[in-house]
Amino acid sequence: MDEAHRRPSAADDRTIEALGKLSEAFEVVEEARGLLYAFHRRCGRADLTLGEAVSLLHNSGHTDLADDLRRTLVGRNVLPDRWSYEVVEEYDATYYEPFRAAEVAAREELAEGKRHVFEAEMKARERQDGPGDDTGDG
């Protein structure tokens, strides 16, 4: 096992397992963040496409409908007083960053800052217990 993933001598099994669970939880937060960014991009794309539709409706003589859509939907907040970028920024500031900082602090305190020690040990065990292959990214 490489030194970057070797268990610190002071870390017991339960500590490494707990840090593994904390890392797993943070990975879910990262995944949720990615979905939130996808939501942000899709909302923006929808608003730009709506603007194009409104222009086409206006140019084809449907001015009342175009004006109504522009007034009620174009540039509309996705949540009260927020566009999607503000939702992303609030998530990052109030949830993502504190979670990330807590995960890093726990690793610093309990595992010399090393990442994925639990997973590295699992990899070593699985390769020792049976014929693994190197095709997966596990």
- The structural domains of the chain, with segments of one domain joined by +, span 12-120
Q: Which residue has the tokens 């014929």?
A: 131
State the amino acid at position 68 in one-letter form.
Answer: D
Angle subtended at Cα 39 by Cα 33 and Cα 44, rounded to the nearest 5 degrees: 130
In order along its 138 residues, the chain shows pLDDT tens digits of 788 888 888 899 999 999 999 999 999 999 999 999 999 999 999 999 999 999 999 999 999 999 999 999 999 999 999 999 999 999 999 999 999 999 999 999 999 999 999 898 899 999 987 765 555 555
Q: How far apart are the C-alpha atoms of 106 and 108, rounded to whole Å?
A: 5
> What's this model's pTM, rounded to 2 decimal places?
0.80
